[in-house]
Amino acid sequence: MAIHKKEEFTQKEQDLAAFAKALAHPARIAILKLLAQKNECICGQIVDELPLSQSTVSQHLKELKIAGLIDGSIDGPRSCYCINWKAFEKFMGEFSFLFNKMKLQNEKACC
C-alpha cells in the first residue's frame, strides 16, 4: 500500500473490519470450531488437528488472541485457550444490528 487510509474511517468501521479480519482465514475458523467442540478450554492438541505446522498454528492463535476473540493462559510447556464470549457477542451483535437495520430500511431490490 502506498498510503495508509484505514485511519480515515470511523473507529467503529475499523473495529468491525478488524473483527472480520480475525475470522478471515479458514484455519482461524477451524480453531474456533475446535475450541467449541470440547466442552472446556483446550490445553494443547490444537496443532495436531490442523494441516499446518506448529509455528503457523501458533501464529494464528496469536492473531485470534490479539483480536480479543480468544483467551489463553500459558504456563510453561502447556497452553490453554478458550473463546472470549464477551468479545464475540459484542461484535456479532454489532454486525447483526448493522444488518438488521439495513434490512429494515431497505427491502426493495433494483439491480
Which residues here bind a second copy, judged by CB under 8 A? 5-6, 8-10, 13-14, 16-18, 20-30, 32-33, 35-41, 51-52, 56, 71-73, 80-83, 85, 88, 92, 95-96, 98-99, 101-103, 105-106, 108-111
CB of 53 to a second copy, least distance (A): 9
Where are the extended beta strands (E) located within the chain? Answer: 70-75, 78-83
| Residue 28 CB neighbours (<10 A) | 19
CA triplet 37, 17, 84: central angle to 5 degrees? 30
What, of a second copy, DNA, none, does residue 62 touch, CB below 5 to 8 Å by kind? DNA
Cell of 30: 477451524
